[in-house]
């Protein structure tokens, strides 16, 4: 209401200031000043009016409370904890992930102890409710930060590490009591052997042209024992390796998620090494008359406030892709800046050439824009506000720009960029995923 009043005042006053008579008699400056003062006063008055009204209302209720301080108008600073998390994850990524990336990509194999050692960060039980042994922090914003910094170390290995936490986040957010009690504590146990790490993966993507995550061909049907699922899923990280899968399937005309343990009969995994994200051990999964029990439907019998929302699930997945892409792009930029300053051609650093300097500057602008859009969407999600549009915008920008940054990273390194001597070619291949997953660019 206060803003409406101020708007009205501003409209009237500026109409007055731009009036030809006022202009003619050189009254414009004083008039503008008048407009400013009057609207400011009007705004203050309106605020007082509202405060009084609120006060009266509270007095009528019998308890008087101070008005809450207004939130800062535009503040993107992270909390102390978030900053500490960033520092910790980035340091981890630098010394424990980056050095493994090259060999892991060549071998298309997850380093043996990666999941075991990354338990130290506590990513998996971060979101799990305290009652079940976790830290009780379900924070999309923090997740975006973690995804970015891990992927700064390496996109593909970050994807593998985050695979389990994305499942944990999903079950923590939407799973019913029984599902949470059954599955979440398994992620809290600190394994001491690489084979004992409990891992999980999400299976949404399907191998049809122009795959649309809303038009699933994987179908579930109810029967006496529970549900039967049929279909093919592609692009699953840790395929055949993970202990648990969240499979998206159409059930009674609605998109749902089913919790499928790896030892269920009828699951057939096939590895499908790809152009990028090779060390995440991506594969396809064929579900042939897979029988799961009655409590496999995620969030079944939940109260309406906790009902599973497939759109939100897909959007948050896209945000995770975006955040990882940002981390990878940032890694490329951090690699390129010293390179272009140190690489000499024609007697000077190549960064002295505008064609090079402009590309670097554009990259920085684009990465910052991607980050801002992702943070906006994630923070709206965190506050339980609608964020579909924000996630969509972020996703579109990240699809386009991460491909561009990937290819420019190779270009700026020249012939070197094409070789395996530098990580740019790997980043280029990894970043290509954004445009093909979840329908990608064409959808």
Query: Given the rule CB under 8 A, which residues bind another protein?
Result: 80-81, 84-85, 87-89, 91-92, 120-123, 125-126, 134-135, 137, 142, 146
What's the gap between Cα 282 and its chain centre?
20
Q: Closest distance between another protein and the C-beta of residue 164, in Å?
A: 14
Beta carbons of 206 and 233 less than 8 angstroms apart: yes
Report, in Å, the least distance between residue 50 CB and another protein: 35
Q: Which is nearer to another protein, 31 or 167 (CB)?
A: 167
Q: Are the beta carbons of 192 and 182 closer than 8 angstroms?
A: no
Secondary structure class of 264 (helix, strand, coil): coil
Q: Which is nearer to another protein, 92 or 235 (CB)?
A: 92
Cβ-based nearer residue to another protein, 123 or 409: 123
Q: How far is the CB of 89 from another protein (least distance, A)?
A: 8
Q: Which residue has the tokens 């999903």?
A: 170
Query: What is the phi/psi pair of residue 204, to 5°?
Result: -115, -50
In three-state secondary structure terms, 203 is strand
Of 118 and 218, CB closest to another protein: 118
Q: Judged by CB, which is closer to another protein: 92, or 313?
A: 92
C-beta of 142: minimal distance to another protein in Å?
Answer: 8
What does the alpha-carbon distance between residue 142 and residue 379 come to, in Å, rounded to a whole number?
9
Least gap, CB of 120 to another protein (angstroms): 6
Could you give phi then psi for residue 210, rounded to 5 degrees? 50, 45
> What is the radius of gyration, based on Cα positions, of the chain?
27
How many whole angstroms separate alpha carbon 267 and alpha carbon 286? 6
- Distance, CA of 159 to CA of 279 (rounded, Å): 9
Query: Nearest distance from residue 157's CB to another protein, in Å?
Result: 15
Could you tell me the two tokens for 21?
């008579």
Cα 67 from chain centroid (whole Å)? 34
**What distances in angstroms separate CA 79 from CA 145, 227, 372, 380, one per listed residue?**
12, 44, 16, 16
Task: Give CA–CA dist 381/139, Å, rounded.
Answer: 9
Judge whether 357 and 58 are in contact, CB under 8 Å. Answer: no
- The least distance separating another protein from the CB of residue 105, rounded to whole angstroms, comes to 23
By C-beta, is 89 or 115 nearer to another protein?
89
Nearer to another protein, 42 or 134 (CB): 134
In this complex, which beta carbon is closest to another protein, that of residue 39 or of residue 143? Answer: 143
In the bound state with another protein, the residue whose beta carbon lies nearer, of 119 and 284, is 119
Least distance from another protein to the Cβ atom of residue 147, Å? 13
User: Does residue 262 sit in helix, strand or coil?
Assistant: coil
Interior CA angle at 151 toward 146 and 154, to 5°?
A: 145
Contact between 246 and 200 (Cβ < 8 Å):
yes
Shortest Å, Cβ 189 to another protein: 14
- Residue 147 vs 216, nearer CB to another protein: 147
Burial of residue 59 (number of CB atoms within 10 Å: 0-12, 13-18, 19+): exposed
CB of 80 to another protein, least distance (A): 7
Three-state DSSP state, 295: helix
């Amino acid at each position: 209401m206060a803003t409406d009043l101020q708007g009205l005042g501003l409209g009237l006053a500026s109409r007055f200031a731009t009036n030809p008579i006022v202009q003619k008699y050189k009254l414009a400056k004083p008039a503008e000043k008048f407009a400013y003062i009057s609207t400011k006063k009007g705004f203050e008055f309106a605020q007082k009016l509202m405060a009084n009204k609120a006060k009266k209302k509270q007095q009528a209720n019998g308890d008087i409370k101070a008005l809450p301080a207004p939130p800062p108008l535009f503040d993107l600073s992270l909390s102390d904890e978030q900053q500490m998390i960033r520092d910790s994850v980035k340091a981890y990524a630098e010394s424990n992930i980056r050095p493994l990336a090259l060999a892991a990509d060549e071998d298309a194999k997850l380093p043996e102890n990666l999941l075991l050692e990354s338990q130290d960060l506590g990513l998996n039980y971060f979101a799990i409710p305290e009652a079940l042994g976790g830290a009780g922090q379900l924070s999309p914003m923090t997740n975006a930060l973690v995804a970015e910094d891990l992927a700064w170390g390496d996109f593909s290995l970050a994807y593998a590490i985050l695979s389990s936490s994305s499942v944990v986040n999903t079950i923590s957010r939407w799973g019913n009591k029984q599902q949470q009690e059954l599955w979440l504590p398994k992620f809290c146990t600190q394994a001491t052997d690489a084979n004992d790490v409990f891992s999980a993966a999400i299976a949404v993507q399907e191998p049809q042209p122009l795959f649309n995550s809303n038009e699933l061909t994987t179908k579930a049907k109810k029967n006496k024992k529970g549900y039967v699922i049929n279909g093919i899923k592609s692009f699953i990280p840790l395929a055949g390796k993970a202990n648990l899968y969240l499979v998206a399937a159409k059930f009674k005309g609605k998109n749902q998620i089913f919790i499928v343990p790896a030892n269920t009969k009828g699951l057939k995994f096939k590895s499908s090494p790809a152009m990028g994200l090779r060390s995440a051990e991506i594969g396809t999964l064929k579900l042939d008359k897979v029988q799961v029990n009655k409590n496999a439907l995620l969030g079944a019998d939940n109260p309406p406030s906790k009902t599973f929302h497939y759109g939100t699930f897909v959007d948050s997945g896209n945000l995770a892709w975006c955040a990882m892409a940002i981390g990878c792009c940032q890694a490329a930029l951090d690699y390129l800046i010293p390179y272009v300053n140190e690489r000499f051609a024609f007697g000077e650093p190549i960064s002295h050439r505008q064609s090079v300097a402009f590309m670097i500057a554009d990259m920085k602008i684009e990465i910052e824009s991607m980050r801002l859009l992702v943070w906006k969407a994630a923070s709206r999600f965190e506050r339980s506000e609608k964020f579909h549009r924000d996630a969509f915008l972020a996703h579109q920008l990240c699809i386009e720009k991460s491909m561009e940054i990937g290819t420019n990273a190779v270009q700026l390194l020249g012939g070197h960029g094409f070789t395996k001597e530098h990580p740019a070619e790997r980043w280029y291949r990894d970043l290509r995923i954004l445009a093909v997953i979840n329908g990608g660019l064409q959808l």
